[in-house]
Chain A
Amino acid sequence: MHELAVTESLVDAVIARLPDKRVTCVRLEIGAMSGVVADSVRFCFDIVTEGTNLDGATLEITQPPASCRCRICDVDFEPDGPFALCPCGSAEVTVLAGQDLKITSVLVV
């Protein structure tokens, strides 16, 4: 389960940036095609933050939809699930967005 490593990276990154702040909320973007399961990150978050300056913080996750461009008909579309199939039937697509895994902001006191 790479979500544990992902959650550790996320907590480490926040601590590295804000070592002296008490963080009460972390806002995270998990793209629809990032390969990371939001519920698993939520599951790991409380465990990983325990005893750190993020202890007790809430986790707000937004999941921006993916966007793909068909290489055959040049149309941009939002894929349904991880199978990036163009409405024209082509699977030869370029992923334009939705693969990001990003800490957007945090709340501190």
Chain B
Amino acid sequence: MCGTCGCSPGTIISLHGPAGHSEEDHDHHAAHNHPHRDQERTIELQQKVLAKNDELADTNRRWLHDRGVLAVNLMSSPGSGKTTLLERTARELAGQMSISVIEGDQETELDARRILAAGSRVVQINTGAGCHLDAEMVARGLRALDPPGGSIVVIENVGNLVCPALFDLGEAAKVVLASVTEGADKPLKYPNMFRQADLVLLNKTDLLPYVDFDVTRYSSYLRQMAPDAALLQLSATSGDGTTAWYDWLRGRRLPPLD
């Protein structure tokens, strides 16, 4: 909400200038070096920069809600094992749950082929130079995927712990996948990503005997950034701990629309 007039973002335009020049505007002009020309006037916008993305994300949320489809935004750094986890999930939940996938990568359809081979419907989005998925890309992906009611759509975001944190896709939950090969301090280094997580999956636990990774320290750092996020440990390679992930998926309900 706008702190100036109490409006919702993007609803009010008020003109200031020769016809209605307020002292506040004049003070602002005096405070910087911009030449004060008579024909120049201020237009208040008070609009979120990402308002368009947020609107499209809300449209996605309503679309998913109307269909009774649960969408999960799966985010991680590159190489944490998102696709390996989804391959196993698709194989092991086949016949129990309908899961489809939107794959986001800068280039190639390699991941889509892996998911398809594991038995799930999949749409690949190649972002080119883009470092994240946005709500518009996901809207197109959802329409192409056409997921059935009662199903789950996992949106595998571009591998990146920075940019995807900023873009609402219309998902019902944000899941961050981390792995024990990445270092325990990642929640502190990428606060924007971890702060929003509903669930954090710690992957590659089969490698714990071989790497210097302190799970207790990781858990403590995560608590600092996301006190309410659940933490599950698993290995997408061996399958250890994946049952809790499947239970989380089964138990997750569509949140009510605002």
Contacts and interface: CB of A to CB of B under 8 A. Distances in A.
Q: Interface residue tally of chain B, by bracket?
A: 35 or more
Interface string A1-31: 1100110011011101110010011001000
Interface residues of A, number: 39
Given A5-B130, A12-B52, A35-B192, A104 B44 contact: yes
Nearest to A12: B52
Given A2-B162, A35-B162, A109-B37, A83 B49 contact: no
A103 B131 CA distance: 23
A109 B165 CA distance: 36
B219 interface: no
Contact of A103 (B49, B134, B195): B49
Contacts of B34: 24-25, 58, 107
Contacts of A28: 49
Contacts of B166: 2, 6, 35-36
Nearest to B192: A35
Contacts of A84: 191
Given A12-B52, A13-B52, A109-B40, A1 B131 contact: yes
B94 to A, nearest CB: 36
Nearest to B50: A9
Contacts of B42: 105-107
Interface string B143-178: 000000000000000000011011100000000000
Contacts of B51: 13
Interface of A: 1-2, 5-6, 9-10, 12-14, 16-18, 21, 24-25, 28, 33, 35-36, 58, 60, 71, 82-85, 91-92, 95, 100-109
